[in-house]
Amino acid sequence: MLTIDRATYDAIVAHAKRDHPDEACGIVAGPEGSDRPERWVEMVNAAGSPTFYEFDSTDLFQLYKEMDANDEEPVVVYHSHTATEAYPSRTDIGLASEPNAHYVLVSTREHGNSEGPVEFRSYRIVDGEVTEEEVTVVDELPSN
Amino acid sequence: MAIEVRIPTILRTYTGGEKAVSADGASLSALIDDLEVNHPGIKDRLIDNGDLRRFVNVYINDEDVRFIGGLEAELADGDQVVVLPAVAGGAH
């Protein structure tokens, strides 16, 4: 199960809507091993595409360096699909390389840049196997 | 000669869980061959058809090796090598 706070959830949804029709991407970092998505980091989609996303290699390096210095890991890795459902594509599955992360997919296909509900779903992707999980949105993450 | 190589989570199965290992080589290519000796199987995850895999990023002292010679990039004692899988995907 993914437990995420309302502000982070809203930030991810707003990012996906803003970048529509291109795919939006980013992470939510948290203390290593904590499973707590605490620090939202919006990334630039270097592919700038409606059907593909990729973190810029220099941005990726800086991000991991920063997380390493903070003893963090990517708790959530998210991106949007802008014309299809919020389910991992074959590309998503083939390239998933964070076995500990919750892979969040947001679909903006219904309302695009406008107000309105989106599909927001979360998965584990390990060794090519996809397992959907429940998403619980809370006002604030429970204190440690 | 010792070069620290930072290993991403997904490849730690090859390093017994270690986040960083030490290896030798005057070029990235030689370094990867040396890694393979102690961590069999890791080379195939980094190289495909004689070139770095498209969705694997390798950095030498903060620089993406694609801009400094790729597999031929030179290494010296004390350099730090970081391996990071690309974070990528998409609907297509």
pLDDT digits (tens, 9 = 90+) for A79-105: 999 999 999 999 999 999 999 999 999
The answer to whether B26 faces chain A, any CB pair under 8 Å, is no
- What is the separation of C-alpha B67 from the centre of its chain, rounded to a whole number of angstroms? 15
Residue B67 lies in a domain: yes
Residue A32 lies in a domain: yes
Residue B32 lies in a domain: yes
Number of independent structural domains in chain A? 1
Number of independent structural domains in chain B? 1
75-134 of A, contacting B, C-beta below 8 A? 77, 79, 81-84, 88-89, 91-92, 95-100
SS3 content of chain B, % helix, strand, coil (to 5): 30, 30, 40
Residue A143 lies in a domain: no
The answer to whether A27 faces chain B, any CB pair under 8 Å, is yes
Residue B10 lies in a domain: yes
Residues in chain B: 92
Which CATH number is B66's domain given?
A: 3.10.20.30
Instruction: Dump pLDDT digits (tens) for B18-59.
Output: 999 999 999 999 999 999 999 999 999 999 999 999 999 999
Kindly list the residues from chain B whose CB atom is less than 8 angstroms away from the CB atom of residue A73. Answer: 9
C-alpha to C-alpha distances, A37 to A61, A136, A139, nearest whole angstrom: 20, 12, 13
Write out the residue range of the structural domain in which residue B78 sits: 3-85
User: What is the DSSP pairing of strand B80-85 with strand B3-6?
Assistant: parallel
Which CATH number is A16's domain given?
A: 3.40.140.10
Kindly list the residues from chain B whose CB atom is less than 8 angstroms away from the CB atom of residue A52. Answer: 88-92
Contact between B55 and A92 using a beta-carbon 8 Å cutoff: no
Instruction: Dump pLDDT digits (tens) for A46-72.
Output: 999 999 999 999 999 999 999 999 999
Q: Considering only the beta carbons, identify the residue of A51, A98, A100 that sits closest to B91.
A: A51
Other CB atoms closer than 10 Å to residue B71's CB: what's the count? 17
Give CA–CA dist A140/A47, Å, rounded. 33
Residue B92 lies in a domain: no
Kindly list the residues from chain B whose CB atom is less than 8 angstroms away from the CB atom of residue A98. Answer: 9-10, 87
Q: Is the peptide bond before A21 cis (omega within 30 degrees of 0)?
A: yes
Q: Considering only the beta carbons, identify the residue of B10, B57, B90 that sits closest to A53.
A: B90
pLDDT on residue A143? 82
pLDDT on residue B1? 67
Cβ-contact B91, A84 below 8 angstroms: yes
Residue A132 lies in a domain: yes
Mean pLDDT of chain A: 97
Confidence of residue B92 (pLDDT cuts 50, 70, 90): confident
In the DSSP assignment, the letter for residue B46 is H
Write out the residue range of the structural domain in which residue A43 sits: 2-138
